Chains A and B, each alone.
Chain A
Amino acid sequence: DAKTTQPTSMDCAEGRAANLPCNHSTISGNEYVYWYRQIHSQGPQYIIHGLKNNETNEMASLIITEDRKSSTLILPHATLRDTAVYYCIVRATTSGTYKYIFGTGTRLKVLA
């Protein structure tokens, strides 16, 4: 599975959009991009995933570049409750293993 690179930390003002980047320059054609977040002392929580096209759900939007070497998770209106560590993971769904490798993630702090 491809490795990912994320900034260590970011700040965002409450009510503003939080844009979290992820670099996955070695991604393969059959690898999806997944985003999870972990609020302090809780288990990681699934946010969104995508392959090629941009995706949106009730929590966030995922923008994947055309060459698929990077992506951005967008929280459109960040709240204090969005303060968490955000993990970007790539994984081949055809591998049959469903195995994730978590990196260090981005620690997002939403400021009042």
Chain B
Amino acid sequence: DAGVIQSPRHEVTEMGQEVTLRCKPISGHDYLFWYRQTMMRGLELLIYFNNNVPIDDSGMPEDRFSAKMPNASFSTLKIQPSEPRDSAVYFCASTPQGGVGTQYFGPGTRLLVL
């Protein structure tokens, strides 16, 4: 299995631009999580999906952030417009339903907003 796949691995953009991060979970996993990691705030859960449905988006910082999961094998996290304070590493993780909850993380997308 290829594991959780994220793209791009690195993104540099200018303030005000739209940024789209992509995630492909492990096949057969029913849960998908988006995290953000910064030095100041550590690893924070932004949103998670179960069977493509958003369950808890209480960690999404503001309306500039949106996430979708159009099918079981693809999710996007979009920031529009981006701001310098959005600079962080964004991780995607997945886990199968009915298991013990072990989350499998992708390699992350390192975002820098200038």
Q: Which of A32, A87, A101, A102 contacts B101 (CB 8 A)?
A: A32
Chain B interface secondary structure, helix, strand, loop or mixed? strand
**Contact assessment for B31 and A98 in the assembled complex, using a CB-CB cutoff below 8 Å:** yes
In angstroms, how far is the closest chain B Cβ from the Cβ of A79?
A: 22
How many residue pairs link A and B with beta carbons under 8 A? The number is: 57
0/1 string, B1-23, CB within 8 A of A gives 1? 00010000000000000000000
Q: How far is the CA of A32 from the CA of B103 in the complex (A)?
A: 14
- Besides A49-B101, A99-B56, 14 more A-B contacts (Cβ < 8 Å) are A41-B89, A41-B110, A42-B107, A42-B108, A43-B105, A43-B107, A44-B91, A49-B102, A98-B103, A99-B48, A100-B103, A101-B45, A102-B42, A103-B42
**Which chain B residues have a beta carbon within 8 Å of chain A's beta carbons?**
4, 31, 33, 35, 42-45, 48, 55-56, 89, 91, 93, 95, 100-108, 110
